[in-house]
C-alpha cells in the first residue's frame, strides 16, 4: 500500500505555491514570484515522476490563513476560502495519481493557520475525504490501519534545535504513553524531512517514525527566530509510505531549498 503524505504547503503565503493561472479573489492577475515559480515547477516534476498511490494524506497547514500576528504581511491572498480554491487547483495533478479506489484523509493543522478549522474541513469535503466517527471530514488525530499496521498520524510535533531525531523520539514516547501501540508514527509542522527506526511496543520489531518535509520556502519569521536560521530546511517536498504486512519504509520525493541571498550594504 502506497500512502502519499503532503503537509505544510501554506497556500496563500508569498513563500508558498500559487497556481500561475488562478486570479486573486479580487479578480486581479497575480504573477508568482521567483520562489513560487521554483516551488511550482519542482512540485510538478515530483508528481510527474511519482508512481500511482493508493492513499493520500494531507497532514495539516495546507493553507496559510490570515496571519493575525503579522497582520497579513507576506500574504498574497487574505481570503481563506480562495486559498482553499488555490490549494485544490494545486492538488489536482497529485489526486490524479490516486488509484481507482484510492482514498483521501485530511488532518487539521495549527489553529493559527486554519482559524476555527474551517479551511481544512472545506478542503477535505471538496476532495471527498474519509469522515471521522462524528462525520467531520478533517480529523483532529488520525489512527489509520494500513495492511494490518497502525499508523499514528498528526500535524504537530515537538521542536528541537540540537538533534533532528529528538522531537520524533518524543512523539513516539507520547504515543506509547497514550497506548496507541502504533507501528508507524507520522508528524509534520517542523518542515524537516527525517525518519528513523526505533524499538517500540508496537507490532513490528522496529517502529518507523517520520517527520515530513514542507513545501514553503524559508520565511521572514524563520530568519528572525531565536535560533537564527535553525528553521531552514535543506529539502522541500513530500513523502510516500510503503506499507506491507511485515514492514514499512519511506520513499522521499524531495528537491533542494534554493540558496538564500541577502541584501548587502556597501559604503
Label each residue of 51-68 as H, E or C: CCEEEEEEECCCECCCCC
Does position 178 have pLDDT exceeding 90, yes or no?
no
Query: Which phi and psi angles does 14 have, rounded to 5°?
Result: -65, -15
Q: Are 213 and 237 in contact (CB under 8 A)?
A: yes
pLDDT at res. 49? 94
H helical segments located in 99-219: 118-126, 165-178
What does the mean pLDDT of the chain come to?
A: 90
Asked if residue 193 is part of any domain, the answer here is no
> Which among 241, 123, 157, 145 is positioned nearest to 202, based on CA atoms?
145
Asked if residue 196 is part of any domain, the answer here is no
Q: How far apart are CA 1 and CA 151, in angstroms?
A: 12
Q: Are 4 and 53 in contact (CB under 8 A)?
A: yes
Asked if residue 176 is part of any domain, the answer here is no
Regarding pTM above 0.75, the answer is: yes
> Which among 1, 39, 65, 82 is positioned nearest to 238, based on CA atoms?
39
> Which among 23, 40, 39 is positioned nearest to 31, based on CA atoms?
23
DSSP 116: G
Q: How far apart are CA 181 and CA 1, in angstroms?
A: 20
Q: List pLDDT tens digits, range 57-69.
A: 999 999 998 887 8
Q: pLDDT tier at 110 (50, 70, 90 boundaries)?
A: confident
- Burial-class residue 56 by CB neighbours within 10 Å (0-12, 13-18, 19+): buried
Asked if residue 83 is part of any domain, the answer here is yes
Q: How far apart are CA 8 and CA 237, in angstroms?
A: 10
Query: Which phi and psi angles does 104 have, rounded to 5°?
Result: -125, 135
Chain centroid, CA 171 distance in Å: 17
Domain with 251, as residue range(s), is 2-140+214-256
The cell numbers describing 226, all together, are 531565536
Asked if residue 200 is part of any domain, the answer here is no
H helical segments located in 49-206: 80-95, 118-126, 165-178
CATH number of the structural domain spanning residue 71: 3.60.21.40
Angle at CA of residue 211, ends 97 and 168, nearest 5°: 150
Q: Are 14 and 77 in contact (CB under 8 A)?
A: no
Q: List pLDDT tens digits, range 9-53.
A: 999 999 999 999 999 999 999 999 999 999 999 999 999 999 999
Q: Are 244 and 237 in contact (CB under 8 A)?
A: no
Asked if residue 224 is part of any domain, the answer here is yes
Q: Are 60 and 189 in contact (CB under 8 A)?
A: yes
Q: How far apart are CA 252 and CA 10, in angstroms?
A: 20
Between 162 and 22, name the one with better pLDDT. Answer: 22
Q: Are 183 and 202 in contact (CB under 8 A)?
A: yes
Does position 91 have pLDDT exceeding 70, yes or no?
yes
Based on the structure, what is the number of domains in the chain?
A: 1
Chain centroid, CA 134 distance in Å: 24
What H or E segment, with its residue span, contains residue 42?
helix 34-48
Asked if residue 153 is part of any domain, the answer here is no
Asked if residue 243 is part of any domain, the answer here is yes
Amino acid at each position: 500500500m502506497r500512502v502519499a503524505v503532503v503537509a505544510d504547503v501554506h497556500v496563500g503565503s508569498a513563500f508558498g505555491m500559487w497556481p500561475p493561472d488562478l486570479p486573486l479573489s479580487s479578480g486581479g492577475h497575480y504573477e508568482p514570484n521567483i520562489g513560487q515559480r521554483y516551488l511550482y515547477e519542482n512540485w510538478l516534476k515530483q508528481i510527474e515522476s511519482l508512481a500511482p498511490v493508493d492513499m493520500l494524506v494531507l497532514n495539516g497547514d495546507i493553507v496559510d490563513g490570515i496571519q493575525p500576528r503579522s497582520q497579513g504581511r507576506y500574504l498574497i491572498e487574505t481570503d481563506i476560502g480562495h486559498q482553499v480554491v488555490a490549494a485544490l487547483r494545486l492538488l489536482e495533478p497529485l489526486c490524479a495519481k490516486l488509484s481507482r479506489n484510492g482514498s483521501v484523509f485530511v488532518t487539521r493543522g495549527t489553529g493559527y493557520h486554519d482559524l476555527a478549522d474551517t479551511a481544512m474541513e472545506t478542503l477535505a469535503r471538496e476532495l471527498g475525504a474519509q469522515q471521522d466517527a462524528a462525520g467531520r471530514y478533517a480529523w483532529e488525530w488520525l489512527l489509520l490501519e494500513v495492511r494490518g499496521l497502525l499508523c499514528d498520524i498528526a500535524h504537530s510535533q515537538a521542536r528541537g534545535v540540537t538533534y533532528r531525531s529528538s522531537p520524533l523520539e518524543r512523539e513516539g514516547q507520547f504515543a506509547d504513553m497514550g497506548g496507541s501501540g502504533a507501528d508507524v508514527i507520522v508528524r509534520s509542522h517542523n518542515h524537516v524531512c527525517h525518519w528513523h527506526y526505533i524499538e517500540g511496543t508496537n507490532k513490528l520489531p522496529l517502529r518507523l517514525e517520520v517527520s515530513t518535509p514542507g513545501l514553503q520556502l524559508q520565511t521572514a519569521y524563520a530568519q528572525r527566530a531565536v535560533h537564527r536560521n535553525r528553521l531552514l530546511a535543506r529539502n522541500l517536498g513530500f513523502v510516500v509510505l510503503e506499507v506491507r504486512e511485515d514492514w514499512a519504509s519511506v520513499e522521499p520525493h524531495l528537491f533542494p531549498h534554493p540558496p538564500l541571498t541577502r541584501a548587502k550594504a556597501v559604503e
